[in-house]
Structure 1
Amino acid sequence: MGTLNLHHLRLFRAVAHDGTLTGAARRLNLSASALSSQLKALEAALGQDLFERRGRGLVLTEAGRIALDHADAIFRTAEDLSATLRETGGVRRALRVGGLATLSRNFQMQFLRPLLGRADVEIVLRSGSQTELLRGLDALALDVVLTNLAPARDAASRYLIHRLAEQPVSLIGTPRRVGQGAPIATLLASQPLILPTAETAIRGALDALIARLGVVVNIAGEVDDMAMIRLLARADAGLAVIPPIVVQDELAAGILVEAHRLPGIVEVFLAVTLDRRFPNPLLGGLLARQQEGV
């Protein structure tokens, strides 16, 4: 086998992740024919077919899957090294943070607070779905993902999952709606509720609590965004099931009040990182500070 051409390997990786020759060629700003010829050159150098065509798409052969594993490792290491050395040599260091779109903004600010205002630090904050953010983490475009959903792990996973905090979940509403200290069961049965969606851990625990109490509830809304639950609670659309940290400013101002802590229901905040050879030096201090409750 001849010397491996890393340019060809990079093109192969792009096609493997895209799944189509035309799509990868468009993103790489190459013609499909030029890309195809360079893939053939790589296959010739390796002595193996890397793809088989199925319909309009390309599927990796067994050799292709092995090649992709190695290609991912090679380019992640190169990107990791480049990013680390580039930041180390500069005056300002960047921390690239992905925040789940539905996660409490107040919690994200609390996590980042030690770095806010520092002249030597640039914070790059991206919001998105769990899938989008983990993809960015895998590609080293992000240093950490803040989430309340633990990603699946297996023997090949490089994810490190850091438990940062555990927040209580409460029944919260306007003073008018909460009234004068009614029991939890009475409020759940008598007031419209603004709830997280069914796939969340909070909702599963709440449904179990409702079943234990034997009450029938009136659901005013099911919302997958904590910021929207906060706005609906402020608008007096119903009682919200929400961690108090999400509405801490409204609670402090008396716009909303906490009727009850919901027994046995918590939200867990996590930071997901990769097992990297060159981790971002800004991140270690943040994780340690958060986990120590400072």
Structure 2
Amino acid sequence: MRDLNYNHLRYFWAVAHEGSLTRAAAHMNLSQSALSVQIQKLEHQVGHPLFERVGRNLVLTEAGRIALDYADTVFKAGDELLSTLKGRPVASRQVLRVGALTTLSRNFQLEFLRPLVDRSDVELIVRSGNMRDLLAQLEAHTVDVVLANSTAPQDARSSLRNHLLNEQPVSLVGRPRTDERTFRFPEDLRTEPLLLPSLDSDIRVAFDRLLELAGVRPVILAEVDDMAMLRLLAREREGVTLVPPIVVRDELEAGILVEHCRIPGVTERFYAIVAKRQFPNQLLLEVLNFDKTGIPKPT
């Protein structure tokens, strides 16, 4: 393979960031046809298509996303060289892009990212959103992994894979009681005010089924789809709150909240959703404890 032509790489880099041959050609004072030829030469050299056309838009392929990451590094290195020679050295860093459901426990997200948080050579980009938008970003290669508490839909054509990271118990928690009375589940829920996750939550569905079988109609104070808000309300309101203990771990350790009971047979599962990649992000393989082919290492 011949040495990489950095002029071709610069042309590709410009088109990728502009998202348009027209705009990139205008900025570089080239014709669209000449710019297109340069991109084709680079694609021929690397052996992979770098763009695909979706309607009127140019969209990066998986190989294109990898190439853009390297191109960013290459041209950033030029800036770093100038900075270094002027006495302002800048360390280069690897990047991991993480998508997380807006409603997902922040404590769980931190536990997942903890191996990378203190590394000076790593840049973490965390984006929150709903499942549909995050999975679209995953398939478009703009995030490397999606963290969720439910699985992505799969069929024979899907490139998405669900990896179970953890399974947590679910409890009723609340502020410390002034009396010595032990909480009785589910009987006390006939009168005890209750804070719940929304009906979109798997743990809410399982919990409602338990109460229905027990013939208990709870007094519901609030239904919240954001675990961070549910955590705050648990601190402020009377009654009990249905949450995985990891969500309120700090409050339990500080004694602000206490765990009244574990809910039998109800757990919350946490998943890393990834897309099958020809070029997986090495940082992602590291935090998932996978080998370089994307297969879980034996434990």
TM-score by length of 2: 0.70
Structure with the larger helix share? 1
Q: Deviations over 1:72-92 (max 9, x none)?
A: 997333223332575699731
Superposed displacement of residue 189, structure 1 = 1.5
Matches within 5 A, 1:1-294: 75-83=61-69, 91-176=92-177, 180-288=181-289
What amino acid does structure 2 have at the position aligned with 1:119?
S
SS at 1:184 equivalent: coil
What amino acid does structure 1 have at the position aligned with 2:100?
G
Question: What is the distance in 1 between the residues matched to 2:73 and 2:261?
Answer: 47
Q: 1:179 to 1:213 in 2, by over 3 A?
A: farther
Q: Deviations over 1:162-195 (max 9, x none)?
A: 1000000000100128962121123321211111
* Contact 2:102–2:226, Cα closer than 8 Å, also in 1: yes
Structure 1 segments (4+ residues) deviating >6 Å: 71-74
Q: 1:172 to 1:200 in 2, by over 3 A?
A: same
What amino acid does structure 1 have at the position aligned with 2:128?
S
Q: 1:74 to 1:122 in 2, by over 3 A?
A: closer
Question: What is the distance in 1 between the residues matched to 2:97 and 2:54?
Answer: 26
Q: 1:194 to 1:72 in 2, by over 3 A?
A: farther
Match in the other structure for 1:51: none
What amino acid does structure 2 have at the position aligned with 1:95?
L
Q: 1:195 to 1:214 in 2, by over 3 A?
A: same
Unaligned runs of 5+ in 2: 1-11, 25-31, 33-51, 78-91, 291-295
* Contact 1:87–1:94, Cα closer than 8 Å, also in 2: no
Question: What is the distance in 2 between the residues matched to 1:150 and 1:254?
Answer: 34
Question: What is the distance in 2 between the residues matched to 1:193 and 1:155?
Answer: 42
TM-score by length of 1: 0.71
Superposed displacement of residue 68, structure 1 = 5.2
Q: For the aligned residues, what is the CA RMSD? A: 3.2
Match in the other structure for 1:3: none
- Which segment drifts farther, 264-273 or 153-162? 153-162
* Contact 1:84–1:278, Cα closer than 8 Å, also in 2: no
